[in-house]
Chain A
Amino acid sequence: MGTKQVVVVSVAMLGVATIAQAGPPAGGTVSGKVTYEGTPAKMKPIDMSKEPSCAKMYTTPQLAETVVTGAGNSLENVVVYISAGAPDDAAPSTAAVFNQKGCRYIPHVLAFQVNQELKIQNEDQTSHNIHPLPKINREWNKSQPPGTPPISEKYDKAEIFPVKCNVHPWMHGNFAVLKNSHFAVTGDGGGFSLPNLPPGKYTVTAWHESYGDQTQDVTISGSETKTVNFVFKAKPY
């Protein structure tokens, strides 16, 4: 019995020691590029004819954004974030803005922090319903007719999940609710940079809505820049 207690206490202390580990802020950086290999699926053009107020905003057909690629096999809309090794950060006071314009979501992938204000606005002349589909967080579904004020929401648990508009089925996006401030979403060129990382061991995760996620471990010892590249295997369908 005595040994058991000792074991429990020592293991518990170990746990506490791991949690309490956090260094002083310094300036290491993890940067890199996200690319794909193989042949990605061709994005289908969107038929917006059932929503004339949006269809008339475009001269060329809009493409779905489940896979967006660029020059040099670069992959866009990938959330790159520190998934382990960094302490949770308090939410910033600025709001993350999610816009509905031309019956598209701008941005297609929005990353923000736990408990950060999320502002959803409708710039269209049509009603949208915003229906995020989390599994861990609360699921809600709100209508937003044209000219109504932005919807203000927040999520209290880390989770990446899809968002959709049921009225306009082609409208599809993603929310990435993250625990710390070290994240980026790749844009044109597929590059990312996660600055201001104190020395320590980190796990970097790259998440793509069609190709899943990958992780790599990296150690920051000072103010150096470590390069971490991710290569996703493209699916042809």
Chain B
Amino acid sequence: MQNNVHSKFCLNIAIALLLPLGIAAQQADQPAAKPNPHMESHIGDLTGHSEAGARLYYRYCWGCHGARGNGDGENAPYVTPQPRNFTQATFKCRSTPTGTLPLDSDLYNSLVRGFNFTNMPSWIALTAQERADLVAFIKTFSARWVTEKPGTPIPIPAEPKLTVESIKHGGELFQKLECWKCHGQEGRGDGPSAPTLTDSNDQPIRPYNFTTDNRSKCGRTNQDLYRIFMTGLDGTPMPSFADVVKPEDAWDLVHYLRTLQYNNPSPELTLWEGTPEGKTIVAAKKVENTNTGSGVKP
């Protein structure tokens, strides 16, 4: 027992000796910032607590996202795209500008929605409170949640009336902004740069194929489409267009993008197919009897 007390005392002294040195080294290098293990999330009236979220995380999430939240769970090698590494605090689906932290509600919505074409399911089976708790816990993995504030959401003005001119102008923007370089002229995700794309962890990544359906990763409404190209998807090749596209132009682009989703009935597609020009273009896109039945041109 006495021995124990003695060694504990020695340890204390050793720590006390090392501590100021450590602080000095950090001052010379990076400012000391550590993740905060006690975080809250605020989504509407809900307040999430990381302590409650931890229990859920170590039941539902760590298999893929890993015990330390760095995306190296035991299922991770079998999963593509790779599970999110929460220690980087870089998120695809945000309402905030590129390079900024998302709002709590952005993370919450991702949990509700899940990510199509990935292994991340919708966590609709959890209660709203549980999802809020998980959001709070995810914020304990990175010091960015201590040192930075979430960005100011990019405003989305009311959607203007849908017109053929709007769709046509959106098509011109699709050319001018060179969306087709990655997404392909017909939006099939097969543009000239597509095979070379990698995410920020050097993993191959495919541009979104508009022709499969309407289930883009960050939501399926017109507002979601608007938000996706304005904020960009951080950590992926998809850049932000917020500084280069005017809001009215952005809505035209949304209207045009809907017509690329020719397997997904939408007011935009109906209007476009109602014009002789649109009818020809959409009809030419329809591919029957492909090997996989995916409609993707070989």
Interface set of A (CB-CB < 8 Å, partner B): 3-4, 7-8, 11-12, 14-15, 18-19, 50, 84, 126-127, 129-131, 133, 135-136, 138-145, 148, 151, 157, 166-169
Contact = CB atoms under 8 A, between A and B. Distances in A.
B193 A166 contact: yes
Nearest to B90: A139
Contacts of B28: 19, 84
Interface in B13-27: 13, 16-17, 19-21, 23-24, 27
B24 A139 contact: no
Nearest to A141: B239
B33 to A, nearest CB: 10
Contacts of A145: 176-178, 244
B21 A15 contact: yes
Given A142-B243, A166-B239, A8 B193 contact: no
Interface in B23-77: 23-24, 27-28, 30
B193 A169 contact: yes
Given A4-B13, A7-B16, A145-B244, A131 B193 contact: no
Interface in B216-243: 232, 234-241, 243
Given A7-B16, A131-B237, 15 more contacts: A4-B12, A7-B13, A11-B21, A126-B178, A127-B177, A135-B88, A138-B100, A139-B99, A139-B234, A140-B234, A141-B240, A142-B239, A145-B176, A148-B243, A151-B243
Given A7-B13, A15-B21, A144 B244 contact: yes
B30 A136 contact: yes
Contact of A142 (B90, B177, B196, B240): B240
Contacts of B211: none
B164 interface: no
Chain B binding site: helix, strand, loop or mixed by DSSP?
loop
B181 interface: yes
B259 interface: no
B98 A148 contact: no
Interface string B246-267: 0000000000000000000000
Nearest to B240: A142
B21 A141 contact: no
A50 B193 contact: yes
Contacts of B294: none
Contacts of B237: 129, 131, 141, 166-167
Contacts of A4: 12-13, 16
A33 B167 CA distance: 59
22 contacts: A4-B12, A4-B16, A7-B16, A8-B17, A11-B21, A15-B21, A15-B23, A15-B24, A19-B24, A19-B27, A19-B28, A129-B239, A135-B88, A138-B100, A139-B235, A140-B97, A141-B98, A141-B240, A143-B239, A143-B241, A166-B197, A167-B181
B20 A133 contact: no
A8 B98 contact: no
A131 B24 contact: no
A139 B97 CA distance: 11
B256 to A, nearest CB: 16
A131 B238 CA distance: 9
A21 B176 CA distance: 56
Contacts of B90: 139
A12 B20 contact: yes
Contacts of B20: 8, 11-12, 14-15
A166 B182 contact: yes
B121 interface: no
